[in-house]
């Protein structure tokens, strides 16, 4: 499982089964062709509510809205510099940002939230700017 998929799994995103594929019967008659089922709508996961609930019950004061370290800590995922570099590499962080941990962290936080939103997480627009 990729590092980013661990984040999605912790948020309950991406656990839906894939939509069924189209099957064609061996009988060439048009009525023998089965049509695929309509794809299931992606259920939005309220990421903010989950993270706020986790933050409220966490003894540390973690600001997941601005810090990738705090976001990873809330999800109980390794937040070490090595782990963040691994995640940044996986998500395609520009090489020039990888040499400055502060710039990498800002890029990583924004990118992780954007990718969560792209995968069905309900992330407010103000956190994606």
pLDDT (tens digit per residue) in 10-53: 999 875 433 333 334 445 555 555 455 544 455 678 899 999 99
pTM for the predicted model, two decimal places: 0.75
Return d(Cα 52, Cα 19) in angstroms, integer. Answer: 32
Return d(Cα 110, Cα 129) in angstroms, integer. Answer: 8
pLDDT at 18: 30
Task: Indicate the angle between helix axes 81-90 and 3-10, nearest 10 degrees.
Answer: 100
Rounded-to-10 torsion of CA 69, 70, 71, 75: 100
Report, as an integer, the average pLDDT of 86-115.
Answer: 96
Go through 95-105 and write b for each residue having 16 or more CB atoms within 10 A of its CB, e for each that does not. eebeeeeeebb
């Amino acid at each position: 499982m990729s590092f980013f998929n661990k984040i999605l799994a912790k948020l309950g995103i991406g656990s839906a089964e894939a939509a069924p594929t189209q099957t064609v019967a061996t009988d060439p008659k048009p009525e023998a062709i089965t049509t695929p089922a309509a794809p299931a709508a992606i259920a939005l996961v309220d990421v903010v509510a989950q993270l706020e609930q986790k933050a409220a019950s966490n003894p540390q004061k973690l600001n997941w809205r601005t810090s990738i370290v705090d976001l990873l800590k809330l999800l109980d995922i390794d937040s070490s510099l090595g782990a963040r570099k691994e995640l940044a590499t996986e998500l395609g962080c520009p090489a020039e940002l990888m040499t400055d941990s502060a710039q990498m962290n800002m890029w990583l936080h924004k990118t992780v939230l954007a990718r969560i939103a792209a995968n069905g997480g309900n992330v407010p627009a103000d956190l994606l700017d």
